[in-house]
Structure 1
Amino acid sequence: MAESRLIQGRYRLLELIGRGGMGEVWRAHDESLGRRVAVKCLKPMGAQHDQSFTRVLRERFRREARVAAALQHRGVTVVHDFGEYEGVLYLVMELLEGRNLSQLLEENKQHPLPVADVVDIAEQVADALAYTHEQGIVHRDLKPANIMRLTDGAVKICDFGIARLAADIGFTSKLTGTGIAMGTPHYMSPEQISGDHVDHRSDLYSLGCVLYEIATGVPPFDHDDAWAVLVGHRDTVPEPPRTLRAEIPEFFQRIVLDLLAKTPEDRPADAKDLRRRMGAAHQGRAHTVLPGPRPEQPPSREPRLPSWTRGMTTGQKATGTSIARPALPDHTAGLTSEWTTNTDPRGGPLVPAQSRPERPTPPPELLAVLTSRHNAGLSLGRLGRWEEAGEVHRAVAVEREHVLGPDHPDTLASRYEVGFTLSRTGRAADALREFGKVVDGRERTMGADHPETLAARQEMAYVLGQLGRHFEAHQVYASVLDSRERTMGHEHPDTLRCRHNLAFNLSRLGRLEDSYQMAYEVAAARARVLGAGHPDTLVTRYEVAYALGQLGRWMEALQTYREVAVARAQALGADHPDTLAARYEVGISLGRLGRSAEALELYRDLVDDRTRVHGPADPETLRARHGLGVNLGRLARWEEALVESRDVCALRERVLGSEHPDTLISRREVAVGLGWLGRWADALAVYGQVAQARERVLGSDHPDALASRNDEAHCLEQLGRHAEAVELYRRVAALRQQRGAQGR
């Protein structure tokens, strides 16, 4: 793009004025109409490596560019044209001369803007939002970087459509480990945080956050901890702006606090209503505002949040605070704002120059492109699009190794993510090899006890568990735990995470009492360090409940699962996958206690919620339907149970494949229903299909395959074919004995 300097024979690129995660912004000249314009060029992802990602990007770009081009208002950046040239998507916009609100705050050393300017900005943005909302367009990512103050005093909202594009294709960040969708944490509405329906009133809340910050110098919830920020938006009443800056007019404080109402219904009805209120207040107040004392430093406040909100991943706000892991650039910055990149997205220490092999210094532009693509891969992973994420990370790893070397931290970071995506797509053996390379490289360059090295070794242990090599996994976990306790302490969050994984692995080794005891201790420690309602604490309490169930202590397991489900609903939301998972386990416990009628009602509700949130064919929806069918059978409603099992089996076969373990479990449940209905010949045929598939996938001596052959033998008995049944029982017993001898 830069070499040709001319796009479509019309737009001549003159000067690069911004660069960031989604591409570049150029000052350009429209030679057809003889006017200055800004051209935003989206960076190509490389078709040879990222075809699916590029295809999604192109489709979303065209759709959202049309949306943006349809907006015509003095308060919205005008989009003149869009298209694709030599594989690069571009957007032609009016050239804005001025600074965005984030830059104005930074230039003012984070002191608030003059009150008169704040009120003027509020009125102009309200006018623009009133127009866009009438068109049915919600911005979804309103923040200081997306609001421009031009040199003539006019205010414009930038990146309508581009902000939506970023969210659609997965650039928008998520809180690590929680699944909570994030735009920019300091400006998100409570309904965005909870994953609820978002309408125009979400933009009003974000506007309230912006106005609060430019009026006081700090966001309404000013924490360096993303989880604390999100909980603040959802649960905490913001401190009145006048307590931070006395010169703010009372009417303006009231408007800002109304915009920051937790529920959309309590905010102004729409931007028109907001504008009317501001106009009425103008008429009823004095025309001059007496300035108060100018604070030397931004005001500081003690967070009024639960203790468990501290110590989480940091967020981003107008001051440029970076995210610790992973750091995503501001992909939706205004046209004339400064776009930033981070060549070390993990924030880890770089290898000292003297320890690296001599190689040509790669151009900064290339490093920025690779960082952007690495971050895009991380975002795809957060959306659960692991196959696409893996393609991106593999391509970036190859290029980073070429320009930086195999042991450079950035190369190893990409290889780590390759391993992670492999483990999440069922390729555990490949993941193990990849993590092994990362461990070797990090030990050479960082040392055996470096947190990044230990993180890779811990993932190796996890993958060993996926492969059923639980004894080896136990050895690795124990070694990592020893290093973490020695270097970080017994109750450091990373140490507790390792102890949690070790407890999980102990249960897979059959050491149920040890697993329960360790999980119980870790849950108590996490409650002390993070708080009783912290998601990590609840994960370990979930493991405690699992261990109780394995020990046959189902009443205690039921109580613990219920407590976890309630706490997760409060902390994460009723529709969060972890909340729904805990409710599923409540159903399992009820079934184990013989309370199948209660379990049946629970599963009916869970199926409805899973279908609403994830869709009817989602694997977790089908898992809940499977539980429903099982409990229908326990209530001797076998005709209904058989219909449900067949339906779930057909859906699982289509979604997961004919030999996926869940599909085979459903097929076995079909056979169970046929048997209870006395249709033993039909049941025998289905049991045989399950046994053959499990032998192909797992091996003839795998416990699941042997259980299926036992099912067959039982059918043969019911059909009076006793000699065949006895022979099959003997064969199963011999295979079990052989497997036991090999295990010793």
Structure 2
Amino acid sequence: MAESGLVQGRYRLLDLIGRGGMGEVWRARDESLGRQVAVKCLKPLGPQHDPSFMRVLRERFRREARVAAALQHRGITVVHDFGEDDGILFLVMELLDGRNLSQLLEDNRHDPLPLPDFADIAEQVAAALAYTHEQAVVHRDLKPANIVRVADGTVKICDFGIARLGHDIGFTARLTGTGIAMGTPHYMSPEQIGAGTVDHRSDLYSLGCVLYELVTGAPPFDLDDAWAVLVGHRDTAPEPPRARRPDLPEAYERIVLDLLEKVPDDRPRDAAELVKRLVSARRSQGAPYGAEGGPAEAGGRTATRVVRSLPSWTQGMTVGSRAEPRARRAGGADRAAGLTGAWTSGLPPLSRDTPAPYVSERPAPSPEHLAALAARHNAGLSLGRLGRWAEAGEVHRAVAAEREHALGPDHPDTLASRFEVAFTLARSGRPADALREYERVAAGRERSLGPDHVDTLAARQETAYALGRLGRHFEAHQVYVSVLAARERTTGPEHPDTLRCRHNLAFNLSRLGRLEDAYRMARDVASARARVLGPQHPDTLVTRYEVAYLLGQLGRWAEALQTYREVAGDRAQALGPGHPDTLAARYEVGISLGRLGRSKEALELYRDLVGARTAAQGPADPETLRARHGLGVNLGRLGRWEEALAEARSVAALREQVLGTGHLDTLVSRREIAVALGWLGRWPDALAVYRQVAAARERVLGADHPDTLASRSDEAQCLEQLGRSAEAVALYRRVAELRQRRTPGRG
């Protein structure tokens, strides 16, 4: 990884931002999405750790990363991705443009921060902790270096889950021969020092230490000797902050001292109560910032309202003790969902209670052999990320065969490889082959893991998707409905996997012609994804895009236009203006404008889009040609038929060269040539082209396909224009018969 500077074939390391006891943080570029991110690379582990420890560590890292990635709050750093590359565990996070609180204090020459800054930071951090503690997640390592104030004033907490992982690895909180904790003890709670129970109140104590330093310029026990600092936290009352800063309001001093109580029960009950006390203290001082007090949350909510009900799918995501005692869900709430990737291959069951029916009497393969297979599996994943699907498929097929021989056909690792084989087949345009492989994986996972296991449901959902790709939408619908019921039953209605299934079901409903049902479901999924993942998350935007498409199908083009514009704007902000998904949304804006008769606006949009597509993908790329096709259509709508004809001919020639003569897009462009010829009064030429298109569609799609019948109707209209009415009537009758045959029972 260090040599290539490319993590998992996707994240290009650019500049080293920082280095600490846990590893390094790099500014990097996400080559897939074209955005800058921060990549935290954990320090590589030495040979002193045996393979079983490493497997446990990888699983724990995966769990902690999933917990961090599930947190969705403006005051918490977003975790985009996580993985392992060349033996190094890494997290991919949003890149923050700001300064952490340690740097702010250094910038201020370690003088106390101005009171408005202190109040702002305190309330935002407390609000973020209120949210995380409601999710039963404890930070364990809150300190100034882990709190960042970004350029717009937002304050974010970083490194959730990292402290616990570091403790397990041995990087942090490690004792020396004299029993002194290594690292920075200035923000540790008494229960952490004494190996007591650590829960959300430990975070409150650490926050008290941070706030003490912000208002005085130094932590509460600012001593050179680490042992003295620990004894201070455990046994000594801190000096009141007003003794160091007399102008500090008494209400703030009381809050800080309450947070620093030695006994957890004597501290504020939770962070939500702390938010209320901080807001009340600020208002009593004349509201130094904010119109109604408190930094506004999204949608105009203030910090006192950030605590909300816990989604059912987060109940099993815990770090440390719960903030409040709650009954465990029955049925394995703590069992982690499986992932296909570098962490899961070769991992043993998580506990003795985990079902493992795949164990057989076959000789156990050597750890070296399994490690080699895992490495080859990862290589296949990397090839897929680069779009080299044929090569990736070959790798996964070979690994699957070897894993089946070594571990058995129903071992999770064998099935993980077969799942990837199916995925590469789907990406290579072979949905029928992918379907057979997905069905095999789903059956094997049901035998070894159970029908409701997350991996079984993932395979069944991909089965439904492959059925849809093959036009078998009714069968796909039945599978989606069954999978959705299982997902809602096991993980809850708003788990991201459940929402993905509902999105796919809505898409499939539209293909069954149930447009109103599809629209209502897509609209509900978009709202749920906005709540769970955020309004600008790519999955949220995909569903909003589908909502816009369905509005157009329902003839509600004004609403479709507005929705497409919103999606395009959000994608430009989240992914960049030149990202393919942003450009796709802009293309649909042009379609909507044309449908509303606003062809002049559409024409200008398509001109810009052609330029952007050409710059990003080249002049002959299919998406560039699609934008040029839209430009030509709107030239015709504006009556500029000579220009429209020239554009259609140029696009058709390029499509024929790039896609082939029988490709549906090529035939669409050839039809546009005929339309322009007709409007120019060149009916014999138009008739010849219409007939070519109809014949080609009949060969490719069949005689009774709607597009073929539309071409025959075009041909009949052209015959009428040429005065050949008898031929036109005969052709119209033939089209009517074929339509009636296709839809029996109507009429």
Fold in common (TM above 0.5): yes
1:735 aligns with 738
Describe how 1:436-475 pairs up with structure 2 within 5 A.
Answer: 436-475=439-478
Q: Is the CA contact (8 Å cut-off) linking 2:24 and 2:42 kept in structure 1?
A: no
Deviations 1:610-668 (A, max 9, x none): 22222222222222111111111111212222222222222222222222222222222
CA distance in structure 1 between the partners assigned to 2:665 and 2:534 by the alignment: 36
TM-score (norm 1): 0.60
CA distance in structure 2 between the partners assigned to 1:690 and 1:568 by the alignment: 37
CA distance in structure 1 between the partners assigned to 2:734 and 2:437 by the alignment: 39
Name the aligned partner's letter for residue 568 of structure 2: A
**Offset of 1:603 from its aligned partner?**
1.1
CA distance in structure 1 between the partners assigned to 2:581 and 2:372 by the alignment: 35
2:546 aligns with 543
Q: Which range moves more in the overlay, 533-542 or 373-382? A: 373-382
CA distance in structure 2 between the partners assigned to 1:350 and 1:713 by the alignment: 71
1:582 to 578, 582, 585: 585
Name the aligned partner's letter for residue 591 of structure 1: G
CA distance in structure 2 between the partners assigned to 1:347 and 1:394 by the alignment: 27
1:738–1:549: structure 2 CA closer, same or farther, 3 Å change rule? same
CA distance in structure 2 between the partners assigned to 1:551 and 1:242 by the alignment: 55
CA distance in structure 2 between the partners assigned to 1:539 and 1:388 by the alignment: 29
Deviations 1:202-256 (A, max 9, x none): 9xx98xx89999xxxxxxx999439814696445524144579999999xxxxx9
**Offset of 1:466 from its aligned partner?**
1.4
Establish whether residue 654 from structure 1 lines up as the match of residue 657 from structure 2: yes
Describe how 1:288-367 pairs up with structure 2 within 5 A.
Answer: 325-328=339-342, 342-343=345-346, 352=355, 355-367=358-370
Q: Is the CA contact (8 Å cut-off) linking 2:704 and 2:738 kept in structure 1?
A: yes
1:225 aligns with 69
Establish whether residue 701 from structure 1 lines up as the match of residue 539 from structure 2: no
2:27 to 169, 176, 188: 188
Name the aligned partner's letter for residue 239 of structure 1: N
Q: Is the CA contact (8 Å cut-off) linking 2:477 and 2:509 kept in structure 1?
A: yes
Name the aligned partner's letter for residue 188 of structure 1: R
1:612 aligns with 615
CA distance in structure 2 between the partners assigned to 1:425 and 1:211 by the alignment: 35
Q: Which range moves more in the overlay, 348-357 or 583-592? A: 348-357
Q: Is the CA contact (8 Å cut-off) linking 1:716 and 1:725 kept in structure 2?
A: yes
CA distance in structure 1 between the partners assigned to 2:695 and 2:350 by the alignment: 50
Any idea what SS the aligned residue of 1:187 has?
Answer: strand
Q: Is the CA contact (8 Å cut-off) linking 1:186 and 1:229 kept in structure 2?
A: no
Whichever of the two has the greater Rg, that structure is 2
1:190–1:347: structure 2 CA closer, same or farther, 3 Å change rule? farther
2:626 to 618, 623, 628: 623
Any idea what SS the aligned residue of 1:557 has?
Answer: helix
2:508 to 505, 508, 517: 505
Q: Is the CA contact (8 Å cut-off) linking 2:9 and 2:385 kept in structure 1?
A: no
1:682–1:249: structure 2 CA closer, same or farther, 3 Å change rule? farther
Aligned length: 505
Deviations 1:130-171 (A, max 9, x none): xxxxxxxxxxx7xxxx4xxxxxxxxxxxx2xx33xx57xx73
1:719–1:740: structure 2 CA closer, same or farther, 3 Å change rule? same
Name the aligned partner's letter for residue 390 of structure 2: E
CA distance in structure 2 between the partners assigned to 1:662 and 1:473 by the alignment: 26
Q: Is the CA contact (8 Å cut-off) linking 1:470 and 1:505 kept in structure 2?
A: yes
Q: Is the CA contact (8 Å cut-off) linking 2:338 and 2:455 kept in structure 1?
A: no
Q: Is the CA contact (8 Å cut-off) linking 1:325 and 1:345 kept in structure 2?
A: no
**Which one has more relative contact order, counting CA pairs under 8 Å at least 6 apart?**
1
Any idea what SS the aligned residue of 2:612 has?
Answer: helix
2:98 to 222, 237, 240: 237
**Offset of 1:671 from its aligned partner?**
2.1
1:713 aligns with 716
1:434–1:210: structure 2 CA closer, same or farther, 3 Å change rule? closer
TM-score (norm 2): 0.59
1:438–1:348: structure 2 CA closer, same or farther, 3 Å change rule? farther
**Offset of 1:416 from its aligned partner?**
1.7
1:600 aligns with 603
**What is the root-mean-square deviation of aligned Cα atoms in Å?**
4.5
CA distance in structure 2 between the partners assigned to 1:706 and 1:348 by the alignment: 61
**Offset of 1:587 from its aligned partner?**
0.8
**Offset of 1:553 from its aligned partner?**
0.7
Deviations 1:302-340 (A, max 9, x none): 9x99899x999x9xxxxxxx99855448xxxxxxxxxxx
Name the aligned partner's letter for residue 450 of structure 1: H
1:37 aligns with none
Establish whether residue 413 from structure 1 lines up as the match of residue 263 from structure 2: no
Deviations 1:335-380 (A, max 9, x none): xxxxxx9535999999855543332323333322332232232233
Q: Is the CA contact (8 Å cut-off) linking 1:233 and 1:262 kept in structure 2?
A: no
Name the aligned partner's letter for residue 515 of structure 1: A
1:667–1:604: structure 2 CA closer, same or farther, 3 Å change rule? same
Establish whether residue 533 from structure 1 lines up as the match of residue 545 from structure 2: no
**Offset of 1:598 from its aligned partner?**
0.5
2:10 to 166, 172, 184: 172
Q: Is the CA contact (8 Å cut-off) linking 2:358 and 2:410 kept in structure 1?
A: no
Any idea what SS the aligned residue of 1:609 has?
Answer: helix
Deviations 1:468-509 (A, max 9, x none): 222221111111111111111121211111111111111111
Any idea what SS the aligned residue of 1:225 has?
Answer: helix
CA distance in structure 2 between the partners assigned to 1:437 and 1:741 by the alignment: 36
2:210 aligns with none
Q: Is the CA contact (8 Å cut-off) linking 2:338 and 2:454 kept in structure 1?
A: no
CA distance in structure 2 between the partners assigned to 1:192 and 1:726 by the alignment: 57
Q: Which range moves more in the overlay, 692-701 or 478-487? A: 692-701
Q: Is the CA contact (8 Å cut-off) linking 2:390 and 2:428 kept in structure 1?
A: yes
Percent identity for Structure 1 against Structure 2:
64
Name the aligned partner's letter for residue 656 of structure 1: L
Establish whether residue 642 from structure 1 lines up as the match of residue 645 from structure 2: yes
Deviations 1:558-617 (A, max 9, x none): 111111111112222222222111111111110100001111111111111122222222
1:665–1:238: structure 2 CA closer, same or farther, 3 Å change rule? farther
**Offset of 1:742 from its aligned partner?**
9.0
Q: Is the CA contact (8 Å cut-off) linking 1:326 and 1:375 kept in structure 2?
A: no
Q: Is the CA contact (8 Å cut-off) linking 1:465 and 1:505 kept in structure 2?
A: yes
Q: Is the CA contact (8 Å cut-off) linking 2:355 and 2:449 kept in structure 1?
A: no
1:185–1:621: structure 2 CA closer, same or farther, 3 Å change rule? farther
